[in-house]
Structure 1
Amino acid sequence: MPKSKGLMERIRDGETVICAEGYIFAFERLGYLKAGPFTPEVVVDHPELVRQMYKDFVRAGSDVVQAFTYYGHRNKFKLVGREDELEKQNRLALKMAREVADETGTLMCGDLSNTWVYEPGNEEAITETKAIFKEQIEWAVDEGADYIVAETIGHLGEAILATEAIKQYGKGVPAVITLASHYNQLREDGKRTTADDVEITEALRKLVAAGADVVGFNCTCGPVSIMPLLESSVEANVGAPLAAIPVPYRTTLKEPTFTTILDPWTGKRAFPDNLDCLLCSREDVVKFTQQCVRLKIPYIGLCCGNAPHYTRTMAETLGRVTEASKFSPDMSIHGIYGTDDSKVNTYYTKELPKTTVKQE
C-alpha cells in the first residue's frame, strides 16, 4: 500500500491518530510473557504471534504499528539472563512492525520505556540511562521507524533525557513523550507533580522546550482518572499536541491507578494478575474517545490491558469503518434478542424477564 502521511502531517491536518498499545499484558494473558519482569521475550521465542498481533490491531483500526520494544532494554534483559539477545529482539520487533506498516499503509514507531535505572542526581545512573536510550533509538532508526515514543516515565529528568536522545540520534524523526502519573505526588495546593516534583503541566512545557513534538500521558491511570490531567493540560496550553493513552481499567479519582486499585470483592490489590474484574466496558471506551474529541486531543489509544475490540470501538466512535467492523456486534439477528421475528426463537423469548434486576 502507499506510504501513509507522517505523524505530524496527520495532526496538522486535523486528524486523530489512534496508536494501539498493550502488548505486554496481552501476551501475559496468552501465556507467553511473565508478569513481574514483563520483558518482551516473546518477540524472539514466537515472532509469528507478535506479527499477528500487529496485524490484529491495524485491522481493528490502529493507525500505527508500535514495535514491541517496550522494556526491551539492557537493564530489563539482564534480569532474565537474555542480554545477549537484546539487539536481536529489538531489530526483529522493529523489522516486523515495519513490514506490517508497509503492507497496510500505516505508520511504524519505535518504543522506549522508563529504564528503572534513572535516579535524579546520580551521574552513573544518568549515564547508563542515556546509553539505554541511545542504542534503542539507533536500532529504531536503522529499521525505518517513522517516529519514536518514549513512555511510562515518572521523572521529568528521565523524560528529558529520552527527548534529547531522540533529537540527537533519531535523525529527525518526531518524538512522542508521555508521562505516567502515579498520583503519589500531590502538593498541598492540590496540583499533581512528576516523581521529581515538577507540576504536571509545567513538566509538559519543559518537554516541549527540550524538543518533544507530542506530549501527554500513558499507562497507570484509567479513562476516568486520566481525564483531570488531560483537562488541565488543555487549559494550560502546553505548546504541543497532546497524547492520551490510559489503561482500560475502571480506576477512579479515589483509586486513580491500576497499580493501587483494589478488587471490590476481596479488598486486595488487583495489580497485576487480578485486574480482569476491573476492565473497562466498550461503552467506557466510547465515552473516553468522545471526551478526547471534545478536548481536541489528536493522539489517542489504550495501554496495558488493551485488545483489538477496544481499538475497534475507539475507531468506530470516530466514525471509521475498519476491516474488523465486519464483525462488530449486531444483536438484531440474535436468536433471543433479535428484532427480526423470523430469526427469533419465541420459545426462549417468552421466558425473558420483563424488568432488569440490578446486581448488588
Structure 2
Amino acid sequence: MKRTLEQRLKEGTVIVGEGYLFELERRGYLQAGSFVPEVALENPEALKQTYRDFMNAGSDVILAFTYNGHREKLRIIGKEDLLEPLNRSAIRLAKEVAKEHPTEEALVAGNISNTNIFDPNNPASKEEVRSIFAEMVKWCKEEGVDYIVGETFYYHEEALIALEEIQKQGLPAVITLALFAENILRDGYTADESCKILSEKGALVVGLNCFRGPDTMHSYLVDIRKNVDGYVGALPLPYRTTEENPTFFNLPDAGCNCTLPTETTFPTALDPLYHNRFELAEWAKEAKEIGINYIGLCCGASPAMLREVAEAVGVETINSKFSPNMEKHFLFGNDETLKKHNTEYRTKA
C-alpha cells in the first residue's frame, strides 16, 4: 500500500513538482493572462504527460491541476459551466498517472488557491471565498485525493478559511503562503506568524510558495522553521529575484531589446531570468539542512530542474538515468576513446 503524506514526511523529504501553469503555457496548451486550466478538458493527454514528466523527475505527488480552476476565474472567462467537470477531470487524470509509478504509487493532491476576491473589509467576500473552497474541496473528497494543497495565499485569513474547509472534509492540509514585495501578508501578518497559527490549527504542512525565487524566500523559511513545530514546505520560483525586486512581478531584464506586451517581463518574458538547475540544487540542500520537509518548485519550473532538486537532497528519480554526464561529450568529455584533437580544442571552442 502506498504511504500517506504524513508517513512519507516522517521518513524523509517529500519532493513536490508544481509549476504546471507556466509549463503548459510553454507547451502551448494554456493561455497566459487568464491562466485558467482548461487543458484538463481540452487536452487531457497533454496534462497527463506533464503530470508524468514531473513525477518521473522525482515528484512524490501529482498535484491535480485546478489552480485558478475556481468559480471566480471561470466567471471571468464566461465558462462557469465547466467548473465541476474541469475539477473532476484534473483529479481523475492525476490518479491515472499516479498509478504508473514503478515503485510506489504517487500521492494525488487536490488543489485550491488564492481567489483574488478576498477583501478583509468585506464580509460578503469572505463568504464567497468560503463557498468557492467548499465546493472544490467537496469534489476532491468525492474523487478520493490523498490530501489537499491550499496555496499562494497572500491573506492570512483566506488561508485560514481554506484550512477550515479542508478540515471539514477530514483531509490532510498543506497550506502555503505567497509574499508580495512588502514582505508581509496583506492583512498584516508576517509569514512565520501566519504559518505558526495555521500549523497549530491543524495544517499538516505550512510554508511558502510562488512569487519569490530562492534568494528572496529563504530568510523567511528560516523564520518559519524556527517558529513552527510541525512540517514546513518550500516551493520557490526558479527565477533570480533580488532584494530590489523580490518577486517575479517586476523583475527587470537589462538585456531586453524588444517591446514587451506588458509593463514588465512577467509573465511571458522571464526566460533570461532563470536560475540554472545547479543553483536550484544548492538551494534545495540548504533548505533540507535548515529542516524543510516538503521541497519543490513553483511557476516556471521544468522537470529537469525538479530532478536536480530531488537528487540534491538524496532522491534517485525515475529519470535519473538521464541526468547530465559529460564524460563522453566530444569536446568536454574525459573518456579515453574520445578524439584528442577535439578535447584539446575545448578551450578555444
Q: Is the 8 A contact 1:250 1:279 kept in 2?
A: yes
Which of residues 265, 282, 285 is equivalent to 1:290?
Answer: 285
Q: Which amino acid aligns with 2:198?
A: L
In 2: Cα distance, 1:333 partner to 1:286 partner: 23
Q: CA deviation at 1:303?
A: 0.3
The equivalent residue for 2:218 is 227
Q: CA deviation at 1:264?
A: 2.7
1:177-211 deviation line (CA, Å, top 9, x unaligned): 00000122xxxxxxx42110112211112212332
SS in 2 for 1:242: strand
Change in Cα spacing, 1:12 to 1:323, as seen in structure 2 (3 Å) is closer
Q: Which amino acid aligns with 1:195?
A: R
SS in 2 for 1:19: strand
TM-score, normalising length: structure 2:
0.94
The equivalent residue for 1:173 is 171
Aligned pair 1:209/2:200, yes or no? yes
In 2: Cα distance, 1:290 partner to 1:318 partner: 6
In 2: Cα distance, 1:194 partner to 1:97 partner: 31
Q: Is the 8 A contact 1:63 1:107 kept in 2?
A: yes
The 5 A counterparts of 1:95-134 are 95-104=92-101, 105-134=105-134
The 5 A counterparts of 1:154-169 are 154-168=154-168
Which of residues 234, 238, 254 is equivalent to 1:244?
Answer: 234
Q: Which amino acid aligns with 1:160?
A: L
The equivalent residue for 1:188 is none
1:322-347 deviation line (CA, Å, top 9, x unaligned): 221111111110111110131x2334
Which of residues 323, 329, 333 is equivalent to 1:338?
Answer: 333
Q: Which amino acid aligns with 1:182?
A: F
Aligned pair 1:26/2:23, yes or no? yes
The equivalent residue for 2:260 is none
Q: Which amino acid aligns with 1:12?
A: K
1:158-195 deviation line (CA, Å, top 9, x unaligned): 01110111111x2x2210000000122xxxxxxx4211
Q: Give the root-mean-square deviation of aligned CA atoms.
A: 1.6
Which of residues 296, 321, 324 is equivalent to 1:326?
Answer: 321
The equivalent residue for 2:264 is 269
In 2: Cα distance, 1:290 partner to 1:238 partner: 20
Q: Is the 8 A contact 2:181 2:245 kept in 1?
A: no
Aligned pair 1:43/2:40, yes or no? yes
Q: CA deviation at 1:83?
A: 1.2
Which of residues 61, 70, 74 is equivalent to 2:71?
Answer: 74
Q: Which amino acid aligns with 2:205?
A: V
Q: CA deviation at 1:240?
A: 2.0
Q: CA deviation at 1:118?
A: 0.9
Q: Is the 8 A contact 2:207 2:234 kept in 1?
A: yes
Segments of structure 1 that go 5 or more residues without pairing to the other structure are: 185-191
Change in Cα spacing, 1:199 to 1:319, as seen in structure 2 (3 Å) is closer
Q: CA deviation at 1:316?
A: 1.1
Give the paired residue count: 341
Q: Is the 8 A contact 1:98 1:143 kept in 2?
A: no
Q: CA deviation at 1:296?
A: 1.3
Aligned pair 1:145/2:145, yes or no? yes
In 1: Cα distance, 2:59 partner to 2:284 partner: 14
Give the share of equivalent positions with the same residue, in percent: 42
Q: Which amino acid aligns with 1:10?
A: R
The equivalent residue for 1:189 is none
Q: Is the 8 A contact 1:22 1:306 kept in 2?
A: yes
TM-score, normalising length: structure 1:
0.91
Aligned pair 1:299/2:297, yes or no? no
SS in 1 for 2:234: strand
The equivalent residue for 1:57 is 54
Q: Which amino acid aligns with 1:59?
A: N
Q: Which amino acid aligns with 2:300?
A: G
Q: Is the 8 A contact 1:164 1:211 kept in 2?
A: no
Q: Is the 8 A contact 1:67 1:94 kept in 2?
A: yes
